[in-house]
A = this chain, B = another copy of it.
């Protein structure tokens, strides 16, 4: 029922990792435990071993599944879903990009488009000129991100 030293260590490792990514601790706990566990685990096993509420575990698993970071495996003779960690770094990164980065990037681009239309109304004075240049700079940044970020997944073959 308690966790071994190794399990605690691995879970801790993932907790720090997901915090870097801006995700809640519970996500790291769940993924970490699944990562070290030889067997797939059902939701209530996660709750018990991690001292976590059913609600947290359910929400955490939902997000992890959306990333493709855990998969549900059918276990014959058991009505419950059992979960397993996906451990291919490339897939984890791809899932994170798709679910977290891309949507925000798109949103940012919409915002930028609105800014550009505002920019059209700028004066031809020095200040207006400067600000138009800055908006162009933002456009270039946006373009670069679209080019470079997808490459990242590729580098992890």
Q: Which of A121-157 contact B (CB under 8 A)?
A: 122, 126-127, 130-131, 134, 137-138, 140-141, 144, 148, 151-152, 155-156
Protomer copies = 2
Known: A9-B115, A148-B156. A16 touches B104 (CB 8 A): yes
Q: How far is the CA of A144 from the CA of B93 in the complex (A)?
A: 12
Q: Does A118 contact B (CB under 8 A)?
A: yes
**Are B152's CB and A13's CB within 8 A?**
no
Closest chain B CB from A93 CB (angstroms): 10
Contact A16:B108 (CB < 8 A) given known A38-B127, A134-B36, A151-B155: yes
Note all chain B residues with C-beta closer than 8 A to A126: 38
- List chain B residues, Cβ under 8 A from A151: 155
List, in ascending order, chain B residues with CB within 8 A of A108's CB. 13, 16-17
Residues of A within 8 A of B (CB): 5-6, 9-10, 12-13, 16-17, 20, 22, 35-36, 38, 87, 89, 101, 104, 107-108, 111-112, 114-115, 118-119, 122, 126-127, 130-131, 134, 137-138, 140-141, 144, 148, 151-152, 155-156
